[in-house]
A and B are shown apart, each in its own frame.
Chain A
Amino acid sequence: MKARPPRIARWLAAVLLPPSEREFVIGDLDELFERDAAALGRARARVRYWRQAFGLVRHRIPPPYTAASPRRSLDMSSLWRDVVIGARTAWHAKTYSAIAILTLGLAIGANTLLFSIANPIVVRALPIKDPDSLGWIQTVNAPRAIDRGQISMPDLLEFRERAKSFSAIAAYEVQPATLTGHRQDPERVTTLRGTANVTDVWGMKSLTGRLFQADDGEAGRPLVAVLSSRYWRERFQRDLGVIGRQFLLNGQPLTVVGVMPPEVELGNMSLVDMWVPEPMNPNAPRDARTLRAFGRLAPGATLDGAAAEVLAISQQQAKDHPESHQDWDARVVSTRRAMTSGNTWLVLLLLAIVVGFVLLIACANLANLVMARLVARKVDLAVRQALGASRWQLVRPLLAESTVLSLIGGVVGVALAYAGLRTVNAVAYEPFMKTLAIDGNVLIFAALISIVTPLIFCLWPAMSAGKATSAETLRDSRTSGGRAGRRRRDVLVAAQVALALSLLVVSTLAVRSMLYLRHIDTGLDISALASFRFELPDDRYPDDAARARFATELADRLGALSGVTSVAVVSSLPVFDREVMRQIEGLSLGSRANDQPWASWFSVTPAYFRATGVAVLTGRGFADGDTDRSQSVAIINRTAADRYFGGVPAAIGRQIVLAGRNEPKRSVTIVGVAADTRAPNITTTSPQVYVPFAQWPARAMLALTRSTAPDRQTADLRAAMRGLDATVPISDLRTVSDIEADENSSSGIINGLFISFALLALLLAAGGLYGVISYSVGQRTREIGVRLALGAAPSGIRRLVLVDGLKVTAIGMAIGLVLAVGFARLAAPVLFGISPSDPVTFGAVTATVLLVSIASIAAPAFRAMRTDPARTLRAD
Chain B
Amino acid sequence: MADAVLGEFEQLVLIALIRLGHEAYGVTLCDEIAGRARRAVSLGAVYKTLDRLETKGLVASRLGEPTAERGGRRKKHFKVLAAGQRALKQSLTSLRRMTEGLESEIGL
Query: Which residues in A have some Cβ–Cβ distance to B below 8 Å?
Result: 21, 23-32, 51-52, 54-59
Q: Which residue of A31, A56, A57 contacts B70 across the interface (Cβ within 8 Å)?
A: A31
Q: In the complex where A56-B47, A59-B47 touch, is A24 in contact with B25 (Cβ < 8 A)?
A: yes
Partner of A27, one of B44, B45, B48, B73: B73
- Which residues from 43 to 94 on chain B have a C-beta closer than 8 Å to any C-beta of chain A? 43-45, 47-48, 63, 69-71, 73-76
- Would you call B42 an interface residue if the criterion is a C-beta within 8 Å of the partner chain's C-beta atoms? yes
Contact at A24–B43, with CB atoms within 8 Å?
no
Query: In the complex where A23-B73, A24-B63, A24-B75 touch, is A31 in contact with B27 (Cβ < 8 A)?
Result: yes
Q: With a CB–CB cut-off of 8 A, which chain A residues contact B75?
A: 24, 27-28
Asked if B73 and A52 make an inter-chain contact with CB atoms under 8 angstroms apart, the answer reads no
**Chain A contacts for B69, CB-based, 8 A:** 31
- A26 contacts B73, C-beta separation under 8 Å: yes
CB of A27 within 8 A of CB of B74, answer yes
A29 x B71 contact (CB < 8 A): no
Question: Distance (Å) between the CB of A76 and the closest chain B CB?
Answer: 25
Is B74 within 8 A of A25, CB to CB?
Answer: no
A55 touching B45, Cβ below 8 Å: yes
Q: In the complex, what distance in Å separates the CA atom of A74 from the CA atom of B30?
A: 41
A25 to B48, CA, bound (A): 12
Residue in contact with B47 in the complex, picked from A25, A27, A32, CB distance below 8 Å = A25
Cβ A28 vs Cβ B42 within 8 A: no
- Asked if A24 and B45 sit within 8 Å, CB to CB, the answer is no
* Residues of chain B within 8 A of A28, CB atoms compared: 25-27, 43, 70, 75
A31 to B73, CA, bound (A): 10
Q: Which of B26, B30, B44 contacts A24 (CB 8 A)?
A: B26
Query: Is there contact, CB below 8 Å, between B43 and A29?
Result: yes
Which size class do B's interface residues fall under?
10 to 19
| Bound Cα distance A23, B30 (Å) | 18
Q: Do B74 and A59 have beta carbons less than 8 Å apart?
A: no
Of A23, A28, A32, A59, most B-chain CB atoms within 10 Å: A28
Assess A24 versus B73: contact at CB under 8 Å? Given A31-B27, A32-B27, A59-B48: yes
B70 x A55 contact (CB < 8 A): no
B70 touching A52, Cβ below 8 Å: no
13 chain-A/chain-B pairs, Cβ below 8 angstroms? A21-B47, A25-B47, A28-B25, A28-B26, A28-B75, A31-B27, A31-B69, A52-B43, A54-B44, A55-B42, A56-B43, A58-B44, A59-B45
Are A27 and B70 touching (Cβ within 8 A)?
A: yes
- Rounded to whole angstroms, the CA-CA distance of A26 and B70 in the bound complex is 9
B-side contacts of A25, CB under 8 Å = 26, 43, 47
Q: How far is the CB of B7 from chain A (nearest CB, A)?
A: 15
Q: How many A-B residue pairs have CB under 8 A?
A: 55
Binding site for A on B (CB under 8 A): 25-27, 30, 42-45, 47-48, 63, 69-71, 73-76
Closest partner residue, chain B, to A26 (CB atom) = B73
The docked-state distance in angstroms from the alpha carbon of A58 to that of B47 is: 12
Q: Give Cα distance in the complex from A556 to B26, angstroms.
A: 84
Flag if B44 contacts A56 (CB, 8 Å): yes
The residues of B that contact A55 with a CB separation of less than 8 Å are: 42-45
Cα distance A56–B73 when bound, in Å? 17
The answer to whether A30 touches B26 (Cβ under 8 A) is no
Q: Chain B residues near A23 (CB, 8 Å)?
A: 63, 73-74
CA distance A29 to B75 in the complex (A): 11
* Chain A residues whose C-beta falls within 8 Å of the C-beta of B25 in the assembled complex: 24, 28
- Nearest residue in B to A48 (C-beta to C-beta)? B42
Contacts of B74 in A (CB 8 A): 23-24, 27
Chain B residues with CB under 8 Å of A51's CB are 42
> In the complex the two chains form, what is the Cα distance from A188 to B76 in whole Å?
70
* Closest beta carbon of chain B to A62's beta carbon, Å: 13
- Among A21, A30, A54, the residue within 8 A (CB) of B71 is A30
Known pairs A27-B74, A30-B73, A58-B44 / 18 extra A-B pairs, C-beta < 8 Å: A21-B47, A24-B26, A24-B63, A24-B75, A25-B26, A25-B43, A26-B73, A27-B70, A27-B71, A27-B73, A32-B43, A52-B43, A52-B44, A55-B42, A55-B45, A56-B42, A56-B44, A56-B47
Q: Does the CB pair B47–A30 fall under 8 Å?
A: no
Question: How distant is the Cα of A32 from the Cα of B63 in the complex, in angstroms?
Answer: 19
Q: How far is the CB of A714 from chain B (nearest CB, A)?
A: 59
The 8 lowest CB-CB distance pairs between A and B, nearest first, are A27-B73, A55-B44, A28-B26, A24-B76, A55-B42, A56-B44, A27-B70, A59-B48
- Closest beta carbon of chain A to B52's beta carbon, Å: 11
Q: Which residues of the partner chain B approach A54 to less than 8 Å between Cβ atoms?
A: 44
Residues of B with C-beta under 8 A to A29: 43
Q: How far is the CA of A25 from the CA of B42 in the complex (A)?
A: 12
With both beta carbons as reference points, the residue of chain B lying nearest to A22 in the complex is identified as B73
Contacts of A24 in B (CB 8 A): 25-26, 63, 73-76
**Minimum Cβ distance to chain B for residue A842 (Å):** 58
CB distance from A631 to the nearest CB of B (A): 92
Nearest B residue (CB) for A52 = B43
Q: In the assembled complex, which residues on chain A have CB atoms less than 8 Å from the CB atom of B26?
A: 24-25, 28
With A and B bound together, what is the CA distance between A21 and B75 in angstroms?
A: 10
B70 & A59 in contact (Cβ 8 Å cutoff): no
Of chain A, the residue at the smallest CB distance from B29 is A28
* A26 CB contacts on chain B under 8 angstroms: 73
CB distance from B28 to the nearest CB of A (A): 10
Which A residues are CB-close (under 8 A) to B47? 21, 25, 56, 59
Instruction: List chain B residues, Cβ under 8 A from A58.
Output: 44
Q: Which of A27, A51, A56, A59 has the most CB of B within 10 A?
A: A27
- Closest Cβ of chain A: how far from B24's Cβ, in Å? 12
Q: Least Cβ distance of A685 to chain B in Å?
A: 73
Q: How far is the CB of B33 from chain A (nearest CB, A)?
A: 14
CA distance A26 to B71 in the complex (A): 10
When distances are taken between beta carbons in the complex, the residues of chain A under 8 Å from B45 are 55, 59
Q: Which residues on the B side are within 8 Å of A32 (C-beta)? A: 27, 30, 43
Q: Select the residue from A24, A58, A59 with max chain B CB neighbours within 10 A.
A: A24
For B27, the chain A residues whose CB sits under 8 A away are: 28, 31-32
B72 → chain A closest CB, angstroms: 9
In the bound complex, CA of A665 to CA of B26 (Å): 95
A25 to B75 Cα, complex, angstroms: 8
A872, chain B: closest CB distance, angstroms: 40
- How many angstroms between the C-alpha atoms of A57 and B47 in the bound complex? 11
A853 to chain B, nearest CB (A): 46
List of A residues within 8 angstroms of B42 by Cβ: 51-52, 55-56
Q: How far is the CA of A30 from the CA of B43 in the complex (A)?
A: 12
Query: Contact at B44–A59, with CB atoms within 8 Å?
Result: yes
User: With the chains together, A28 CA to B44 CA distance in Å?
Assistant: 11
CA–CA, A776 and B25, complex, Å: 54
